[in-house]
Structure 1
Amino acid sequence: MYSHIPQPPHSAGAAQSGFRVHIEPRQIPSPVDSVEADRAKWKNQTYMTLPGSHVPQSTTDFVAIDQGNSSPKFIRVSTWNIPSTSRLAENLSIPVVSIIQPFADLDDREEPVPLVQCGDPGPARCEKCGGYVNPWCTWIAGGTKWKCNLCSHETRVEAHYFSALDANFTRLDYSERPELQKGTVDFDVSQSTDYWASNPPQDPSLSTTSPNPTLSNAVRRPQNMRYVFVLDVSDTSVRSGFLAATCVVLRAILHGRFSEDGSEEAPVSLPSGCSIALVTFDDKLHLYDLSPNQSLPKELVIPDVDDPFLPLPPSVLFVDPYQSRAVIGSLLDNLQQLQASLPSGVTSHSCLGSALRASLEALAYTGGHVVSFVCTFPGLGAGRLVPPENSNRDEKLDDQKFYVPRDNEWNNLGEACANAGVGVSMFMAPAKFLDIASIGAVPSLCGGDIFYHWDFKPLRDGPIMESQLRRLVTRTTGYNYTLRVRASNGLRVDQLTGNFHLSDPNTPTSGTLDADQAFSVSFSLTAALSTHQYASIQCAVLYTTVDGQRRVRVINLALQVADLASNVFRFADMDVVVAHSVRQSMTRMPSLKLSTIREDLTEQCSAILYSYRRNCAAATVPSQLIIPEAFRVLPAYTLSILKSKPLKAKYIDPDVRNYYRYKLLGASVRGTMYHLYPRLLAVHDLDATIALPHSETGVVEMPSLMRGSHVFMQENGIYLIDNEELQVVWVGQSASPQLLLDLFGVDDIFKVDVRITELPVLDTRFSKQVRNIIAQRCKERGGRLAKLLIARQNFDAAEIEFADMLMEDHNNAALAYPDYLSLVHKQITTALQSGSALSSATTRAPW
């Protein structure tokens, strides 16, 4: 019999004494039990989207049938029973918010989003509020009018859209109209110029004139996506191998990858019909003519990086990657060979801001996507930054200046890209400080993505970067987009939070919106809602597809209204509350001290539980801890937010804090939950059938998770933990030699190669099971690989990363879960016994 392991070494230093050190961890609510119970419930059950039923958790794989309400994969709300009055909402302390992921991936077993052809007139819309026709509007006056479910206005039906009604006041063509049956639809508005994107206002920093002879504010015809790939060719990028790895990745994405025998290992991933341009930069800008009618690319050097311009028109810069295959391949070969000819003693310089300005100029009147590969601090050209002086590590803990751009040019550039319909994504591989607070503002404002590879190693990080770029160009993406959220009478949209630029308070505008991005919307109640009617929310996203179609994706949700506190709590969605709290915390980092944000998070958690106690369980003894079923593990997830890298009360490099801050601002609900509380598996306990393809269905069933604490681990075990970006395989000192042989190919823990980037392919059941689990996780992320580390107990530095992901332990400069639950309980008890408001309770966390 093996005993449980002592707590592994972690980054928190000496342990603090808790509030109730004798609490039994097995007796407190478990996040894993909640996840596993919900997964078991929906394993063989289909979710029907009509209002009135409990919704699967975001961490559950389920199949939804759209019955007029959008799937929870597209939109989730903090409670599926909206409070009827603002007073009730305030008393319950549950924020009225929704998190919307318009292009979320669907299960293969689900129907795709229907496409409705609208022609020149466009879709039917309310004359008053602009809302789109949907399953929850009603038809009156014999079908000549329809009543909007959002504002109750009666709109006359155009002649081309008219249909008579049957005895139930349903249109006779109901079965032929997906927009009247489905909660999520796409309207094709490519033929209607009213829906085309407008060119941005004249920007004095852009020298290019519109290729269209019409006015600068004229609309732009939808066309296939244009990509600009921006490569860092500074000596730092070359010497680290980052440039060579970038060229390998680009070649695989553009032209596919083939093995020595000629068989295809990876297909071409760039969508057909899209055009590309290549830009490189160091202390100068380099643009390339890649026309297919030449044997070698023509390079044009722009030495004046303070005032960059395009020496070639966009029509020459952009080429079809297939037609120009040979020229592009020649250029990538030349860039790969730079390392051999690089002179010694060269100082690394970077004019990233100028390269992005030039790319924006090339896309200013069409929109598109800039994909940049960055390795060097941007000390030259537009938005030039000065490296910060060495400062005290403790100063970086709580100083807001580390979370705002140090030059406003980066904000201006991000807003200019958003207004022009240009998204910017960045692959970062810094060897030292890069100032992500500044340069990361650009993708954050224009809807791009950020990928961070600290201490880049080509063999380890190259395949990961390829999987990330492949996901970036293949996932559902819209560009030149604007969105609008509308709500029914009595509900008002207060604030939208996400990775976009707010051209006005209620209309986000940005360059790109993809399947992995989500944003939150907070509402306030301005009038009493009737419990006899549904409250409605509608989100409309106007965008251009990568293949050049102009569409409007409309997402509809009808919600029940409750006038009892118990019903609001009964249908609450903790995942949304947690994800919204994360977003709110990330947006407050530039304006509030981290210590204040952490205290507010604990207070918000206590306030929700206190409100339930006061409104739904007032007759119980004040000293008894009462938690609503929907929020059973809210303290565990709140503690996980406090331990996350952006808010951690311990020294974290500012670049790391800002990277995770920008990522969490746009993350999906599911991605947020899995990142906050990483999935932990005891792989040594797998039975003989789990994680292997079923003999009849071929489905690979995943094993159950375990709680994230060393209390539940044994020294003879092998464990896998995954937070969506990092996977760590922890090997106990007493692990069985046979298990080691089956998984690593060696039977001695000292012979395990901790430098491997993937598990060896062995013909053993154990090896197949663990590799299937990792492959399934990769599939769930859309094909993105996660970095893999091996941590042997008490031997490897990777054990610190592993220990910091055990969220129920005392680590990350915060309390263990039992102690934190005691803190929350004490705050509630103090407020109940004193009769004071929770905000005035004196019990605070010791950080």
Structure 2
Amino acid sequence: MNPPSTPLSPIPQPPHSLRAAIDPQSIPSPIDTIEGDREQWEDQTYGTLPGGHVPLSTTDYVAIDQGNSSPKFLRISTWNIPSTSRLASDCRIPIAAVVQPFADQDPREEEIPVVDTGDIGPARCASCRGYINPWCKWVDGGMKWTCNMCTHETAVAPEYFCNLDANLTRLDHLQRPELNKGTVDFVVPEEYWAPHSPLRMEPLFQSVMPLPTSGRRQPQPMNYIFAFDVSLEAVQSGFTHSACSSLLDLLYSQSESGTEGHQGDSCLPAESKICIVTFDRTLHFYDLSVRLNLHLAPPIATLMAYLDDVFVPLRDGLFVDPQGSQPAITALLSTLGKPTTRMIDTEAALGTAIVACLASLAGTGGQVVVFTGVLPTIGLGALKTQVDESTLFGTDKENTLFAPRDNTWKDIAQQCAEEGIGVSMFLGMNRPIDVASVGIISSLTGGELYFHPRFDPPRDGIVLQSQLRRLLKRTTGYSCIMRVRCSSGLRVANHYGNFYESPTGDLLFGTLDADKAISVHLEHTKTLDDSMFAFVQSAVLYTTSHGQRRVRVCNLGLQVASLAGNVFRYADMDTVVCHMVREGISKLPTQRIAKIHEQLTDTCTAILLGYRKHCAASAAPSQLIIPEAFRALPVYTLAIMKTKPLKGRNVTADVRNYQAHKIMSMSVRCTMQHLYPQLLALHDLSDHVALPDPTTGQLRWPSTMRTSYIFMESYGLYLTDNEEMTVLWIGSDISPQLLKDLFDVDDILQLDPHITQFPHLPTRLSTQIRNILAHRHEQRGWTPKFMIARRNMDAAELEFSDMLVEDQNNAAMSYLDCAYTSTSFSQWFGY
């Protein structure tokens, strides 16, 4: 679309007295790097052998596994590890790795190979217990192999033996994926099955049937429990009804009117069973077996009113095949959530309900999905309404807002993690719900939190169903145990993410899915040989949703550098930024936000000054010297400080804790796009963008722009996305033709700001924008909340403005002013 013939000035901004001193275009920005990297890898594949530069996490690329795991599974802060702790200290780049073992792959990539070695299990080092991988060496004619991490020689099992060729390579090398692929799945024998949890001194529940406390449990398909809050407030808001309708549709592809859609299109594995529980002041269990389903009447509830003495009142019919019990499940979900005159309970015993789910899945493991809408003021973990939290920010008691107010919630979470149970929660409340307390259950079990304050069914119902679909359909393992190992000379110092760390140092996840990542901080224990490689190996022991016990192993061989220039040359800013934001958020329960800001600034300053001191010492003091890999580090550091968990101005504790939970488990890609949201100028799309190429059929996506009002026009149409919500900003001087092509209205005042999706119109612009949104949906796997922000008219403009991280917002300076006024930034830029 061409702009109007009369030139229009950029959107006016608050006065910045120092802005004239610096040209905004001269300050380093991530956009040039992101777009350049995307163009580089658009038409070529990435081979994972060490020695080259790795694509950015924000780039869509096809990786070929050549013995190293794809960066989608394992990224590290520098692909040339410093040889000594002294060199690492001089460079000041944190040695960190981010592991996302079940990350989604590009459809063009080869699937992860599955290796079954039978009863002998995967070959492992007798010393460090590392798994065999492409970097191991064979000795003694193939009778032994040398571990690449600890150099110990381990004998080969007779069933696994194979002769070597002249190059000391096994003759079956190409037929053994574990010897030539960086990422593999090993099918494991009985000794790897999940152990039964030991009997606790003070168990949270009573079991009707005695549970075994020794031995191991046989893997089985993952079972699901769906727990619905049926208290008065949750039902009246429409939250419970939307949740039930979404689940019903996903189970049977069935509309709310009862019309059947695509049969067999369930989101659950065919062998899985489900259970439905409801709760208010009491708990309600349902026998969903076919034998009791007469005349399509809803199943009769079995009540448990003793909230402090939890047990499961029935076993038969509690877990059922959703296809075999479709009539009973349909009748129940169609009834739940509908207001009745008998509804008087305003309280909901969330803690007791989760413990009841724990009791139901004890001994087997599985996944619990909870829908709740009120603060749990009754039952286990009962909470009182929080005092005015705004008085605590900036004080010594600020950190109390980021920790559970009742340790019962932490105890429940730990027991769930030990039992291999992941708990995900949809929060649809109208009042504060204390996410710091209830959310720790999802954080420690590897579950997910979904936040829908002031739930509005027309606005949020589509998002809830999309989130639930992603939750059920993505790759998910349960009863997971994870350990990250590294080669001799390095050690794992800290872990960051959503998990429960056992006393033995293993990371326990009730469930671990495709969207979850953890980060580890590595330290030197001795000098590394720069003529050798350094290694990192991640191993996740898990049960698939179809009931097979496996180990997902990710391997990485890294070059060792003795020069600071090589460390910086192959540094990975995406991983560094991901590590910085996680480390900062992890300190919220112990440190004040202002102190965390100082530490983030110091970290960024130290990295850039380390480069100037050790790689560009001869440059003039006034010369702009920034390492190529970290050109955008200052703006990302500023963006970290502007995130909702760490921003300076008052944000409710629930929002801070929810956002902290999300960021701590985000992939590197999602983290980068959350910190610096993508901003697209939709009014300036060329004719060939986001439309199929007539010859190849491929779609070319538009370039992004810098996130600042300085670069926007008042006649423009802009779309931004921070992985949480999508906002369309409409300028007050927008062309009527643009509105007509996109919304079929002529005047901006005629536009309904509450629409939740673009109308399907036969115009080129409408097709382009819907293609762009469909592409983002495919990348993410779900649809975020959509909002329209007309300039100076809609409240959504506040959310849009907060996403423009280069501007003055979120109680922090703009990137431009910060670069000039801050002592640290002045040092970075040479002013």
Q: TM-score, normalised by structure 2?
A: 0.96
Find out whether 1:353 has 2:351 as its counterpart.
Answer: yes
Superposition pairs of residues 261-280 of structure 1, within 5 angstroms: 263-264=261-262, 267-280=265-278
Residue 306 (structure 1) aligns with: 308
Residue 28 of structure 1: CA displacement? 1.0
Higher mean C-alpha deviation, range 375-384 or range 816-825: 816-825
Corresponding residue to 2:246 among 237, 249, 255: 249
8 Å contact 1:602–1:824 — kept in the other structure? no
Instruction: Describe the shift of the 1:262–1:473 C-alpha distance in structure 2 as closer, same or farther (beyond 3 A).
Output: closer
8 Å contact 1:496–1:506 — kept in the other structure? no
**Distance in 2, Cα, partners of 1:832 & 1:744:** 48
Instruction: Describe the shift of the 1:693–1:397 C-alpha distance in structure 2 as closer, same or farther (beyond 3 A).
Output: farther
Residue 281 (structure 2) aligns with: 283
Residue 119 of structure 1: CA displacement? 1.0
8 Å contact 1:686–1:703 — kept in the other structure? yes
Instruction: Describe the shift of the 1:390–1:708 C-alpha distance in structure 2 as closer, same or farther (beyond 3 A).
Output: same
Residue 84 (structure 2) aligns with: 85
**Distance in 2, Cα, partners of 1:259 & 1:447:** 31
Residue 369 (structure 1) aligns with: 367
Residue 341 (structure 1) aligns with: 341
Q: Any idea what SS the aligned residue of 1:128 has?
A: coil
Find out whether 1:197 has 2:202 as its counterpart.
Answer: no
Q: Any idea what SS the aligned residue of 1:410 has?
A: helix
Residue 332 (structure 1) aligns with: 333
8 Å contact 1:396–1:654 — kept in the other structure? no
Residue 221 (structure 1) aligns with: 218
**Distance in 2, Cα, partners of 1:366 & 1:754:** 48
Find out whether 1:142 has 2:161 as its counterpart.
Answer: no
**Distance in 2, Cα, partners of 1:628 & 1:269:** 47
Superposition pairs of residues 494-509 of structure 1, within 5 angstroms: 494-504=493-503, 506-509=505-508
Matched AA of 1:731 = I
Q: Any idea what SS the aligned residue of 2:502 has?
A: strand
8 Å contact 2:249–2:256 — kept in the other structure? no
Superposition pairs of residues 670-749 of structure 1, within 5 angstroms: 670-749=669-748
**Distance in 1, Cα, partners of 2:95 & 2:163:** 39
Q: Any idea what SS the aligned residue of 1:466 has?
A: helix
**Distance in 2, Cα, partners of 1:542 & 1:132:** 12
Instruction: Describe the shift of the 1:57–1:262 C-alpha distance in structure 2 as closer, same or farther (beyond 3 A).
Output: same
Residue 389 of structure 1: CA displacement? 2.7
Summarize deviations over 1:185-230 as a string: whole Å, max 9, x none: 00011xx1110001111133244549688x5122010000010101
Instruction: Describe the shift of the 1:832–1:775 C-alpha distance in structure 2 as closer, same or farther (beyond 3 A).
Output: closer
Residue 822 of structure 1: CA displacement? 3.1
**Distance in 2, Cα, partners of 1:37 & 1:265:** 45
Say what the alpha-carbon RMSD is for the aligned residues: 1.9
Residue 816 (structure 2) aligns with: 818
Q: Any idea what SS the aligned residue of 2:335 has?
A: helix
**Distance in 2, Cα, partners of 1:704 & 1:743:** 20
Q: Unpaired segments of 5 or more residues in structure 1?
A: 9-14, 834-847
Matched AA of 1:795 = M
Residue 803 (structure 1) aligns with: 801
8 Å contact 2:207–2:312 — kept in the other structure? no
Summarize deviations over 1:759-791 as a string: whole Å, max 9, x none: 111111100111111111011002x10111111
Summarize deviations over 1:294-317 as a string: whole Å, max 9, x none: 22413111111122211113x531
Residue 389 (structure 1) aligns with: 387
Q: Any idea what SS the aligned residue of 1:622 has?
A: coil
Find out whether 1:378 has 2:381 as its counterpart.
Answer: no
8 Å contact 1:353–1:381 — kept in the other structure? yes
Residue 483 (structure 1) aligns with: 482
Q: Any idea what SS the aligned residue of 2:804 has?
A: coil
Superposition pairs of residues 350-749 of structure 1, within 5 angstroms: 350-393=348-391, 395=393, 399-504=398-503, 506-749=505-748
Summarize deviations over 1:706-733 as a string: whole Å, max 9, x none: 1100011111111101111111111111
Residue 819 of structure 1: CA displacement? 2.1
Residue 63 (structure 1) aligns with: 62
Residue 692 of structure 1: CA displacement? 1.1
Corresponding residue to 2:785 among 773, 787, 790: 787
Instruction: Describe the shift of the 1:55–1:500 C-alpha distance in structure 2 as closer, same or farther (beyond 3 A).
Output: same
Q: Any idea what SS the aligned residue of 1:659 has?
A: helix
**Distance in 2, Cα, partners of 1:747 & 1:2:** 21
Residue 236 (structure 1) aligns with: 233
**Number of residue-to-residue matches in the alignment:** 819
**Distance in 2, Cα, partners of 1:571 & 1:560:** 10
Residue 31 of structure 1: CA displacement? 1.0
**Distance in 1, Cα, partners of 2:668 & 2:394:** 29
Instruction: Describe the shift of the 1:4–1:551 C-alpha distance in structure 2 as closer, same or farther (beyond 3 A).
Output: farther
Residue 7 (structure 2) aligns with: 2
Summarize deviations over 1:498-528 as a string: whole Å, max 9, x none: 1000003631012000000000011101111
Instruction: Describe the shift of the 1:263–1:500 C-alpha distance in structure 2 as closer, same or farther (beyond 3 A).
Output: closer
Q: Any idea what SS the aligned residue of 2:290 has?
A: coil
8 Å contact 1:76–1:100 — kept in the other structure? yes
Higher mean C-alpha deviation, range 290-299 or range 562-571: 290-299
Instruction: Describe the shift of the 1:820–1:342 C-alpha distance in structure 2 as closer, same or farther (beyond 3 A).
Output: farther
Q: Any idea what SS the aligned residue of 1:425 has?
A: strand
Higher mean C-alpha deviation, range 452-461 or range 73-82: 452-461
**Distance in 2, Cα, partners of 1:134 & 1:86:** 27
Summarize deviations over 1:355-394 as a string: whole Å, max 9, x none: 0000001111000000000101000000000112335456
**Distance in 1, Cα, partners of 2:25 & 2:264:** 46
Q: Any idea what SS the aligned residue of 2:241 has?
A: helix
Higher mean C-alpha deviation, range 201-210 or range 610-619: 201-210
**Distance in 2, Cα, partners of 1:408 & 1:531:** 48
Q: Any idea what SS the aligned residue of 1:224 has?
A: coil
**Distance in 1, Cα, partners of 2:394 & 2:757:** 35
Summarize deviations over 1:440-474 as a string: whole Å, max 9, x none: 00000010001111111111111111111111111
Q: Any idea what SS the aligned residue of 1:440 has?
A: helix
Instruction: Describe the shift of the 1:396–1:752 C-alpha distance in structure 2 as closer, same or farther (beyond 3 A).
Output: farther
Residue 160 (structure 1) aligns with: 159
8 Å contact 1:790–1:798 — kept in the other structure? yes
Q: Any idea what SS the aligned residue of 2:291 has?
A: coil
**Distance in 2, Cα, partners of 1:115 & 1:199:** 26
**Distance in 2, Cα, partners of 1:144 & 1:617:** 51
Residue 824 of structure 1: CA displacement? 5.5
8 Å contact 2:207–2:311 — kept in the other structure? no
Matched AA of 1:362 = S
Residue 120 (structure 1) aligns with: 119
**Distance in 2, Cα, partners of 1:616 & 1:823:** 26
8 Å contact 1:4–1:712 — kept in the other structure? no
Find out whether 1:752 has 2:751 as its counterpart.
Answer: yes
Q: TM-score, normalised by structure 1?
A: 0.94
**Distance in 2, Cα, partners of 1:768 & 1:716:** 21
**Distance in 2, Cα, partners of 1:162 & 1:716:** 71
Matched AA of 1:309 = F
Residue 745 of structure 1: CA displacement? 0.8
Matched AA of 2:583 = Q
